[in-house]
Structure 1
């Protein structure tokens, strides 16, 4: 019950406006260290990304390659970030990010382990869109940045999310006792992530619904 309460509290936390927070408070970034700080802060303070990465790590836990499968996400995320920062925009980024929470949370909730091929495709596909969102946050908060800043940002963005994914695996096994995809506590974690996705989807739909009613 205590573990379920913690999951519920985490879900509530995701409803805060912290999605766009930034470790430098929006100040200009000028050095590699500034980029590194931003790369660490964005996935931690952006709870939509944080919940997805944790879920992705847990889903990877039950594949044949628990430590390497998350790298498909990291590589695609960096690629998506670079492409979007260079001006190659992906469509409906925020919608796909919500879909990523619903999908991976739903997979864990189902109690079925992913085989390696579908897991890699799923992680990489969603990684492109999460990367595009990180690029948007970078441009929106600081505008144009130099090569050293961008290098620090991308390096620590990847390292931080990989560490979060692996940390989620150890937490799922060590703290929740989730040794199999069908474990109750693993499925509860999936339910929490899917719940965050449902909340964000409803929040996204709220504006158009209200506008339609008012019109």
Structure 2
């Protein structure tokens, strides 16, 4: 997603071209998080408005990106990467804990990250939807990564005798839909509950999938 124009090369002000480019890119993305994630939103933002919010010129914009859609695509991936990093760290910290405690720690990490900034939720669950076939494919691909993560953890739990052995792909896909919908509604003020209560409900749902009624740990 390189820009239409060629960025200047060489050192300037003691910084390399790569360092200046990284700083400009970060400023555009920070401004996009504000404008896309608040008002006026992605569809109401222009290149000129984004450049002004970043304190940069439109020429500098086109040195970094081709279109505003490219900015949204990068920002969507960045928001998902932040959440994924939080979850991976929680996985490592919760290693060896009983299943219920491990699942709770992981979902607290995920929910804590995505709800720490309401703009991230809007980028992930609202602004990217319906923009273009390319971004729709990206959105579905990232959702598939979350499904794969849940399937891998569920299968590992089943191998340890902590969960029922089964193909978890369909259940994980449905569960991810519940997670996204509930967190979005909670962030929009449509759910009268604390974040801890939301996480507890999601944990109960996932444990119900992993350990259906009548099944006991250690049983095939």
TM-score range, shorter chain: under 0.3
With normalisation by structure 1, the TM-score equals 0.28
Q: Which has the higher contact order (CA 8 A, sep 6+)?
A: 1
Question: For the pair shown, which has the larger CA radius of gyration, 1 or 2?
Answer: 2
